[in-house]
């Protein structure tokens, strides 16, 4: 079997588009099913201009670039698809919708191929196969871009959460409190330890109250992280009291056999504060009414 | 009798220096009949498990010689490193700075169990 000509699909597509771009565009829009069109999310005119631009870039790239979608000649198409993927994600399209938008071009394209290669089944098969591969790559690329931008958003949000959720507050001279909200994973424990130790140094504190009212569950891993934090604070000369231990947490701790060593634990922040004051030798005295 | 010793560690400790410190310190505690030792590590920026063990050893040796030890001035990064290394320095009293350390040392030496600062069991 003789080798296929160098860039069969490239030339075929670009020739077809150079000849008949408008007609192909109209055919494509007509062939788009209701589900792909999503008239609720995008206006007719916007959709038309998106498709028109896609066809224009497709023609230019296929004149020179063969069918390897990773080649530099396909750069402009990649950029356009990435932009479409991102803007459609913002408009509320699912990644499936955007990929299907690309795949829907197969129908009018293959219809053209059938006309052009009537009586040449081998050529037709070769063209259709190469075109399918190309359009599949494109559709998958849009999905990939979508995934990446979601991951970026999640990464950014995680960073913000980390920063927002570890404030250390000074309760009194020598007493700091660290209210923990959310679960304690190893990344967060690092941040928590650093914040707490910095605060201890800055406020010259001898007691640190770690309030875990906002920690949903305490399992052995979370307990380990808590103990690490407590130990680190103690190495710097600050005693720790863990407060906000809910009844369910107390049960879990005992059931799991977690040994909190000699860490003082209190049910409420108030109790912890009271103990801290005692440790520092401070007293709260009620004023006697005058007269 | 009843003196306090102040040790300031100002250079990064390598092994032989640490061992020399142990020797010198125990000798001095014995010679001066010191009741308390304050080890200031605020200049120590890098620690490893050897230093951690050395600090623990010094505290234990001092106790055998009837002297209390307090380690002061640990930097946050050092504390985190020791914790990550799994060293909790149990049995070593700690305080934030020299002033707090001296208070702790005095109350510990006076047998006051409700000392300020922290004590690891």
* CATH number (domain holding residue B20): 3.30.750.24
How far apart (Å, rounded) are the C-alpha atoms in residues A149 and A111? 35
To probe the interface with A, which of B88, B97, B100 has the most A CB atoms within 10 Å? Answer: B88
pLDDT class of A63 with cuts at 50, 70, 90: confident
**The pLDDT value given to residue A149:** 82
User: Sign of the C-alpha dihedral, residues B78, B84, B89, B95?
Assistant: positive
Contacts with B80 from chain A: Cβ below 8 Å: 190, 193-194, 197, 232
Task: Residue B79: list chain A partners with CB under 8 A.
Answer: 197, 232-233, 235-236
Fold of A169-279: Transcription Regulator spoIIAA (3.30.750)
Inter-chain CB proximity B76 and A262 less than 8 Å? no
Query: Please, where in chain A does CATH 3.30.750.24 lie?
Result: 169-279
pLDDT tens digits, one per residue of A130-146? 889 889 999 999 999 88
Q: Which residues from B are below 8 Å from A262, CB to CB?
A: 121
Residue B81 domain-assigned (yes or no): yes
Asked if the structure places residue B16 within a domain, the reply is yes
- Mutation test of the interface with chain A: which of B74, B76, B88, B95, choosing the one with the most A Cβ atoms within 10 A? B76
Q: Is B90 on the interface with A (CB under 8 A)?
A: no
Q: What is the pLDDT of residue B112?
A: 45
What H or E segment, with its residue span, contains residue B70?
strand B68-72
Nearest residue to A139 via CA among A150, A131, A151: A131
Structure confidence at residue A10 as a pLDDT band (50, 70, 90): low
Q: Between the CA of residue B93 and those of A30, A119, A239, B60, B89, what are the distances in Å?
A: 81, 93, 11, 11, 9
Q: A268-271 contacts: CB < 8 A, separation 24 or more?
A: A268/A243, A268/A244, A269/A177, A269/A209, A269/A211, A269/A213, A269/A243, A269/A244, A271/A243
B115 within some domain: no
Q: A208 pairs with which residues across the strands?
A: A176, A240
Q: Is residue B119 assigned to a domain?
A: no
Residue B25, domain member (yes or no): yes
Q: What is the CATH number of domain A8-158?
A: 1.10.490
* 3-class state of residue A243 by DSSP: strand
* CATH 1.10.490 boundaries in chain A: 8-158
pLDDT beyond 80 at B106 = yes
Q: What percent of chain A has pLDDT over 90?
A: 21
Percent of chain B scoring above 70 in pLDDT: 90
B36/A contact by beta carbon, under 8 A: no
**Is there a domain that residue B120 lies in?**
no
Lowest average pLDDT, out of A162-171, A228-237, B67-76, goes to: A162-171
B121·A234 Cβ contact <8 A: no
Q: Which domain holds residue B68?
A: 4-110
What is the pLDDT averaged over residues A278-287?
Answer: 90
Give the C-alpha distances (Å, rounded to integers) separating A4 from A10, A66, A74, A137: 13, 13, 21, 21
How many domains does chain B contain in total? 1
* A-contacting residues in B 39-58 (Cβ below 8 Å): none
Please tell me if residue B86 touches chain A, with a CB cutoff of 8 Å. Answer: no
B121: pLDDT confidence band, cut at 50, 70 and 90? very low
Residue A77 pLDDT more than 70?
Answer: yes
A242 bridge partner residues: A210, A265
Local confidence band at A269 (pLDDT 50, 70, 90 cut-offs): very high
Torsions phi, psi for A150 (to 5 deg): -65, -45
**Burial zone of A286 (CB within 10 Å; 0-12 exposed, 13-18 middle, 19+ buried):** exposed
Strands (E) located in chain A: 169-172, 175-181, 207-214, 239-243, 264-265
Could you give the CA distance from residue A65 to residue A58 in angstroms, rounded to a whole number? 10
Q: Do the domain assignments include residue B121?
A: no
Closest CB from B95, B96, B101 relative to A201:
B96
Give CA–CA dist A177/A269, Å, rounded. Answer: 9
- How many Cβ pairs closer than 8 A exist between chain A and B? 73
Residues of B in contact with A233 (CB under 8 A): 79, 118
């Amino acid at each position: 079997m003789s080798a296929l000509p160098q860039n069969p699909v490239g030339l075929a597509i670009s020739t077809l588009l150079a000849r008949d771009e408008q007609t192909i565009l109209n055919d494509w829009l007509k062939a788009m099913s209701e589900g792909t069109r999503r008239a609720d999310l995008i206006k007719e005119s916007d959709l038309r201009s998106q498709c028109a631009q896609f066809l224009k870039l497709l023609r230019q790239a296929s004149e020179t670039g063969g069918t390897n979608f990773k080649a530099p000649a396909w750069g402009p198409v990649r950029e356009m698809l990435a932009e479409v993927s991102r803007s459609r994600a913002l408009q509320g399209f699912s990644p499936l919708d955007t990929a299907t938008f690309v795949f829907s071009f197969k129908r009018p394209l293959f219809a053209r191929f059938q006309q052009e290669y009537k009586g040449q089944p081998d050529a037709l098969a070769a063209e259709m196969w190469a075109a399918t591969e190309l359009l599949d790559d494109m559709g998958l690329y849009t999905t990939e871009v979508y995934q990446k931008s979601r991951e970026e958003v999640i990464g950014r949000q995680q960073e913000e959460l980390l920063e927002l959720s570890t404030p250390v507050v000074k309760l009194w001279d020598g007493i700091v409190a660290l209210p923990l909200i959310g679960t304690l994973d190893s990344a967060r424990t690092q941040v928590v330890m650093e914040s707490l130790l910095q605060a201890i140094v800055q406020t010259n504190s001898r007691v640190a109250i770690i309030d875990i009212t906002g920690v949903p569950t305490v399992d052995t891993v979370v307990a380990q992280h808590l103990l690490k934090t407590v130990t680190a604070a103690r190495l710097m000369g600050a005693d720790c009291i863990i407060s906000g231990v809910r009844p369910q947490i107390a049960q879990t701790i005992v059931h799991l056999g977690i040994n909190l060593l000699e860490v003082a634990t209190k049910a409420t922040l108030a109790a912890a504060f009271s103990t801290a004051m005692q440790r520092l030798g401070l007293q709260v005295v009620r004023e006697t009414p005058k007269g | 009798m009843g003196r306090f010793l102040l040790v300031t560690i100002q250079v990064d400790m390598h092994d032989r220096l640490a061992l020399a410190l142990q020797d010198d310190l125990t000798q001095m505690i014995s010679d001066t009949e010191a009741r308390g030792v304050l080890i200031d590590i605020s200049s120590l920026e890098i620690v490893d498990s050897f230093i951690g063990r050395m600090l623990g050893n010094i505290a234990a040796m001092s106790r055998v010689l009837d002297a209390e030890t307090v380690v002061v001035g640990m930097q946050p990064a050092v504390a985190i490193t020791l914790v990550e290394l799994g060293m909790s320095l149990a049995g070593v009293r700690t305080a934030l700075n020299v002033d707090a350390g001296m208070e702790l040392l005095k109350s510990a030496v006076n047998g006051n169990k409700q000392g300020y600062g922290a004590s690891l069991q």
